[in-house]
Amino acid sequence: MHIYDSVQKTKLLFEPIHKGKVSIYVCGPTVYDDAHLGHARSALAFDLLTRTFKSLNYTVTLAKNFTDIDDKIIKKVQQSGKSMEEITSFYIARYLEEMDALGVQRADLEPKATESLRAIEAMIQTLLDKDFAYRISNGDVYFDTSKDRHYGSISHQVSEDDENQSRVAHTEEKRSPKDFALWKACKNEEEICFKTAFSTGRPGWHIECSAMIEKHFSGTENYSIDIHGGGADLLFPHHENEAAQSRCATGHELAKYWMHNGFVQIDGEKMSKSLGNSFFLKDALALYDGEVLRFYLNSVHYRNDFNFSEEELKLSKKRLDKIYRLKKRVSPGTASTVNQTFKTLLLNAMSDDLNISIALAVIDEMLAVTNEMLDSDPQNKVLKKECLANIAFIDTLLGFGGKEPFSYFQIGVDETLKQKITRMLQERSEAKKIKDFARSDAIRDELTELGISIMDTSEGTLWEKLS
RNA sequence: GGAGCCAUCGCCAAGCGGUAAGGCCGCAGCCUGCAAAGCUGCUAUCCCCGGUUCAAAUCCGGGUGGCUCCUCCA
Domain-terminating residue out of A366, A381, A406: A406
Residues 198-217 of A with CB under 7 A from strand B: 205
Residues A325 and A460 in one domain: no
Task: Report percent pLDDT > 70 for chain A.
Answer: 97
Identify whether residues A243 and A377 lie together within a single domain: no
Residue A373: per-residue pLDDT: 97
The stretch A244-261 carries a mean pLDDT of 96
* Burial call A84-113: b when 16+ CB within 10 Å, e when fewer: beebbeebbebbbebbebbbbbebebebbb
Within a domain: A119: yes
Nucleotides of chain B within 7 Å of a protein C-beta? Answer: 1-5, 11-16, 21-25, 32-40, 66-74
Q: pLDDT digit string (tens) for A302-349?
A: 999 999 999 999 999 999 999 999 999 999 999 999 999 999 999 999
- Number of Cβ within a 10 Å radius of residue A180: 23
Q: Considering the domain boundaries, does residue A78 fall inside one?
A: yes
Same-domain pairing of A6 and A108: yes
Query: Does residue A361 sit in the same domain as residue A425?
Result: no
Q: What is the pLDDT of residue A164?
A: 47
Looking at the fold, whether A335 and A218 belong to one and the same domain comes out as no
Nucleic strand B within 7 A of Cβ A9 = yes
The dihedral formed by the CA atoms of A228, A231, A232 and A236, expressed in degrees to the nearest 10: -70
Segment A367-391, tens digit of pLDDT? 999 999 999 999 999 999 999 999 9
**Residue A168, in any domain of the structure:** no
Query: What is the number of structural domains in chain A?
Result: 3
Task: Give the separation between CA A47 and CA A350, rounded to whole angstroms.
Answer: 12
Residue A278 covered by a domain: no
Torsion of CA A39, A40, A46, A50, to 10 degrees: 140
What pLDDT does A158 receive?
78
User: Do A223 and A76 lie in a common domain?
Assistant: yes
Report if residue A302 sits inside a domain.
Answer: no
Same domain, A334 and A429: no
For the domain that residue A260 is a member of, what is the CATH number? 3.40.50.620
Measured CA to C1', what is the nucleotide nearest A437?
A: B33
- Residue A200, in any domain of the structure: no
Cβ-in-10-Å burial (0-12, 13-18, 19+) of A415 comes to: exposed
Nucleotide nearest to A36 (CA to C1'): B74
A392 and A450 in a single domain? The answer is no
Average pLDDT over residues A263-279: 90
Q: Are residues A123 and A236 in the same domain?
A: yes
Domain match, A419 and A375 both: no
Domain membership flag for residue A145: no
Whole domain around residue A125: which residue ranges?
Answer: 2-130+209-266
Strand B closer than 7 A to residue A312 Cβ? yes
pLDDT for the residue numbered A192: 83
Tell me, yes or no, whether A32 and A71 share the same domain: yes
Q: What is the ipTM of this complex?
A: 0.96
- Residues 6+ positions from A28 with CB-CB distance below 8 Å: A64, A65, A66, A67, A110
**Taking residues A427-439, what's their average pLDDT?**
96
| A439 in contact with nucleic chain B (CB within 7 A) | no
- Which of A225, A250, A266 is where one domain is finished? A266
Question: For a pLDDT cut of 90, what percent of chain A falls above it?
Answer: 90
| Angstrom distance, A7 CA to B14 C1' | 24
Which pLDDT belongs to residue A187? 83
Please report the pLDDT score of residue A152 as a whole number: 93
Average pLDDT, stretch A238-261?
96
3-state SS track over chain A: CEEEECCCCEEEECCCCCCCEEEEEECCCECCCCCEHHHHHHHHHHHHHHHHHHHCCCEEEEEECEECCCHHHHHHHHHHCCCHHHHHHHHHHHHHHHHHHCCCCCCCECCEHHHCHHHHHHHHHHHHHCCCEEECCCCCEEECHHHCCCCCCCCCCCCCCHHHHCCCCCCCCCCCCCCEEEEEECCCCCCCCEECCCCEEEECCCHHHHHHHHHHCCCCCCEEEEEEEEEHHHHHHHHHHHHHHHHHHHCCEEEEEEEEECCEEECCEECCCCCCCCCEHHHHHHHCCHHHHHHHHCCCCCCCCEEECHHHHHHHHHHHHHHHHHHHHHCCCCCCCCCHHHHHHHHHHHHECCCHHHHHHHHHHHHHHHHHHHHHCCCCHHHHHHHHHHHHHHHHHHCCCCCCHHHHCCCCCCHHHHHHHHHHHHHHHHHHHCCCHHHHHHHHHHHHHCCEEEEEECCEEEEEECC
Domain identity same for A235 and A123? yes
Domain presence at residue A179: no
Write the CATH number for A349: 1.20.120
